[in-house]
Structure 1
Amino acid sequence: MSNSLLEKQNELYGNLNFAAAIKKDNVGIIKHFIASEKEAYENNFQGQFYPSYHYEISRVMSTKMSKIDDEDIYLAFYYQLKLGNIYKPLEKHYPLFLKALAHNIDDNDLDNTFLDADILYLLFGIKNNKNSDSVYDILYNDYANFLQFTKLCNSYTTFPNLRKKHAKFAPFLNNKALVNRIKKGLHYYFKSSFLTAGSLVLLLLDTSDSAKEVLYNLHKTNLKNTDVWLLGSFYMDFKKTDANKKLLKDLYATYPKEWIDEYQKTDWN
């Protein structure tokens, strides 16, 4: 059944006449996107409308969508989020966006979603599917600022370049809600990722004792050699302050020297 449905979607959405007509039809773009993803989700395959028309979908969803009813806007957000697409909706659509996000979290269907748990934590403070209603506590402007931080983190392709551009992260020190969330949850999402990297930069730029305490506590968690090397590489680039020098000294005192001085290759087995 799923193969035949997949073939039908391929045939429809690969048709040149369909392509020429649909690009001018904002309502049709959203309706086809929803129908394609719903059918695909229920039959365990990837919807075929999105790969060919994701630019058109994003374009429409960045507009007021005045001719599209709220239910379709909500469902479009729902399936966009399931595909891992988190972005800044218009403020008027924010309640529908949150409703779609809460639905995704309640689904608790990790095998059929590309939503990133680390980003969900940084944006909404959510660690599991038991507190999905807490998304409604995040105001639109706060969400926009948190999202800006995650996008900055993920705009880099190497950790050294991210560290060199640390001045771009400094303004986020004024966002106390973001900094506090990082302090409370870094242990939850700490790994070799650009979200972790950006968070480390903020904690190393932050002169407060509480910021350094978060990192000292990480040292006590029986870190892997690759995690130690990651921390050490950041400490090395931020050791101009006494507080950060002490962090590096403690890392050396806690773990083998070669884990810090020599690149630790990740074992993917």
Structure 2
Amino acid sequence: MLRQAQHDVLSFTGPSVAHRTFAAVSLPAEIWLLLLKDLRLEWRQRSALGGLLLYMGGTVYVSYLSFSFRGGAPPAPAWNALFWVILLFAALGAAGRGLAQESAGLRLYYYTVARPEAVVLAKIIYNALLLLALAIPGLLLYTLLLGNPVQDWPTYALSIGLGAVSLASSLTLVAGIAARAGQGGGGTLLAVLGLPVLVPVLLLLVKVSKNALDGLPWDASQSAVITLVALNFIVGAVSYLLFPFLWRS
């Protein structure tokens, strides 16, 4: 695993570029290269992404069967809550494939070539993109099978984007803690620690998306959106400040 990670970085950038990349470049450039590395690894292991997409599709289809037996689409509040539950567990599965399941040898290798701030910020961006890649086709299938009660699509799309960033940033930090304390059970510890952290975020997301379903004016969602944006910045700042201490331990 350690040799594979080293080979991935060197094959992507070249030996001299890899040394220069992780030793003398700016933080944004380092984040960009780590993000490209994660995307390339994801492309090589497409079965993992396919498994997450299969989970989304299977869960949506089972939900469709459950409500079709009862005579139609669910009411709007249940429609909204069910979608966020599906996306929540998809986020737990996606985040669990990152820091929480990386080997100690791979983390040691990253420790020698990259700054911890770059590692955690790249993971947050990568997990947010991964969640968007799951949420968009999942939402399309969800509306196709269970109806489309959304009256304000721009606000609902905004809630999906903020939700992806919020879930990714919170779960990435928790995954870092789980990776240090899990001792092989990081995925389980991630779920135990992550769910309580995500409750306030989910309440805000459900509120914003429910307002979009009801077609309420922007003023009804503005305070919740501002709170979500502030939470994203706070969690990102906390990750930036605390992850180096986890990294060195």
Q: Which protein shows a greater Rg?
A: 1
**Could you tell me the TM-score, scaled by structure 1's length?**
0.27
**Could you tell me the TM-score, scaled by structure 2's length?**
0.28
Structure richer in helix, relative to its length: 2
